[in-house]
Amino acid sequence: MSKTPGIDKEKIIESLNPHERKILPLLDEKNIDALSKKTDLDKASIIRALEFLSNKKLVIIKTSTEKIVDLGVNGILYSRQGLPERRLINLIAEKKNISLADAQKITGLNDNEFKASIGVMKKKALINLINGNIILLGTKEEITNKSLEEKFIEILPKKFEELSPEERYAFENLKNRKEIVEIQDKKSIHIELTELGKIIMKEKLTGEYIESITPEMIKNKGWVGKKFRRYDITSPVPRIHGGKRHFVNQAIDYAKKIWLEMGFKEMDGELIQSGFYNFDALFTAQDHPVREMQDTFFIKEHIANLPDKKIVQQIKNAHEGKINGSKGWAYNWKEEDAKKVLLRTHTTCLSIKKLIDIQKNKEFPAKYFALGKCFRNETVDWSHGFEFNQTEGIVVDKNANFRQLLGYLKEFFKKMGYEKIRIRPGYFPYTEPSLEIDVYHSVHKKWIEFGGAGMFRPEVTIPIFGEHIPVLAWGPGFDRIIMEYFEITDLRELYKNNLTQLREMKVWRK
């Protein structure tokens, strides 16, 4: 090996990996495709090897991007069959006068193709429409000559910068039509050997080096007398993203852990519920706006079965003001409204079902939580979604009081990372007293409502228990709670499934 002052060629050669050794002697060839054929390496492996050679100052890689106009899916089809307007004008030239319906039927064009063809030919004054008929106006020469658009799709692909004025005009006419032409960004890689690279490529690069040590090699002393390849620990390498749960699911797991550590049991249930459990059992009036289609996703042509008649009658009595101490809603309650099926608008319907189970099993006192999806017909913006997670909780105890409710909420939010929350009076049809939980959003500069809580009204508890037993209840929106930790300012970012975002998103640690 010849010596070059100031260059330790031996160290450089010992650091080359097998792919670098393979392509370096062939770099008089500047084309990636040609290198791939000569080396039997795929393009990705060649580009990666070139990047390593660039880090070793053996090559200079220059990339450029140019716009290429090419045929789209329909353009490929039309290049063989002819543009839709060509097929249509040929028919009209033969018939001279034909109805719109017959013309579309004979040519077999779909609605979009037919309308586009009519528009193109009218623009070129080749036809006229009179009383639902197509009348030929163009001369024989105008009809038989290829249009600019037809000539254009025959020459593709072509660089956008090289299009003539006529070709640009044809492109503008075609680009808004469905998948006839498209612009692609084509990246080109130019490889240039450095002076050092020219020196190294002339050296003997066929020596064998050990890439890694295996237990078998150590056992059989297969490494004796051989050289190890030098590793360049300074070269940048592709970042490895390990597998992990979706960041929302990580936060959900943590929140569930909080409730379990606070002595709660988990409850769950179906996403599809009846109006009875979602509204009526929660003393929500049947004429309440929330029960309109503008707010709730109802499932058409589905009717739910109601629970045993005793509970249904008790709920009916509550709505009609037949429970002591309550005026109800002063109307005749309708069973058919309660049987409507919908996507649950909150997880509080699970709490009602659980209260019925608690009464049957005489499980007093009891503490339960839920965390799951809810659906509302909302206008989607940065703070609202039609699909969202809610965390639900109930405490059933004859000695439960409002101060305990505040304590549970403050402890949960503290463990979720919120030292300070704002609790203010609120209103819900099924709780009294009721409260709202707010947190100040530092980016949007406003207080954000996280959800509500309260103590179930007697109209909710008496139909189930036969007497009023205090029940603490809450149901904050969970997605809003985790926005700050993940530095998300728009709820829509939670479920975009952007792969780059999912890779970069930090792991939930509290």
The answer on 97 and 26 residing in a single domain is no
- 310 pLDDT exceeds 70? yes
Tens digit of each residue's pLDDT (9 = 90 or more) over 464-495: 999 999 999 999 999 989 988 898 888 888 88
Q: Between 24 and 368, name the one with better pLDDT.
A: 368
C-beta atoms surrounding 102 within 10 Å = 13
The pLDDT of residue 35 is 87
Look at residue 305 and tell me if it is in a domain.
Answer: no
Strands (E), 356-503: 366-375, 387-396, 422-425, 431-441, 446-456, 471-474
Residue where a domain terminates, one of 125, 153, 182: 182
Closest CA to 242 of 510, 495, 505: 505
Does 45 lie in the same domain as 116?
no
What would the mean pLDDT of 394-406 be, rounded to a whole number?
96
Looking at the structure, tell me whether residues 260 and 205 fall in a common domain: no
Tell me whether residue 39 is in a domain: yes
Same domain? 94 vs 166? yes
Q: What is the mean pLDDT of residues 299-326?
A: 92
Look at residue 180 in the predicted model and tell me its pLDDT: 93
Closest among 275, 276, 312 to 292, alpha carbons compared: 275
Residue 403 lies in a domain: yes
- What's the start-to-end Cα distance of the chain, in Å? 59
pLDDT more than 70, % of the chain: 98
The DSSP code sequence of 229-250 is: PPP-TTS--PPP------HHHH
256-270, 395-409, 438-452: which has the minimum mean pLDDT?
438-452
Judge whether 109 lies within some domain.
yes
pLDDT computed for residue 7 by the predictor: 65
Whether 491 and 353 share a structural domain: yes
The reported pLDDT for the residue numbered 201 is 87
pLDDT digits (tens, 9 = 90+) for 491-507: 888 888 888 888 888 88
Task: Residue 345: name the closest of 380, 298, 395 by CA.
Answer: 298
Same domain, 358 and 500: yes
Say if CB 449 and CB 438 are below 8 A apart: yes
% the chain with pLDDT above 90: 55
- Residue 172 domain-assigned (yes or no): yes
Same domain, yes or no: 159 and 132: yes
Say if residue 6's pLDDT is above 60.
no
Does residue 400 have a pLDDT over 80? yes
- Res 3 pLDDT > 60: no
Query: 378 and 429 in one domain?
Result: yes
Count of domains forming the chain = 3
Pairing label, strands 209-210, 227-228: parallel
Find the domain containing 29 and state its range: 9-58+194-228
Within this chain, do residues 372 and 478 fall inside the same structural domain, yes or no? yes
**17 and 134 part of one domain:** no
Contacts 24+ apart (CB under 8 A), 355-361: 355/394, 355/396, 355/461, 355/464, 355/465, 355/471, 356/307, 356/311, 356/464, 358/396, 359/464, 359/465
pLDDT value for 235? 67
- pLDDT category at 463 given cuts 50, 70, 90 is very high
Q: Is residue 257 part of a domain?
A: yes
Residue 301 lies in a domain: no
> What is residue 4's predicted lDDT score, i.e. its pLDDT?
52
Assess if residue 321 is contained within a domain: no
Q: Which residues contact 236 (CB under 8 A, 6 or more apart)?
A: 55
Among 48-57, 137-146, 369-378, the range with the most confident prediction by mean pLDDT is: 369-378
| Same-domain pairing of 389 and 484 | yes
Give the domain CATH number at 478: 3.30.930.10
pTM of the shown model: 0.60
pLDDT, position 248: 94
| One domain for residues 43 and 78 | no
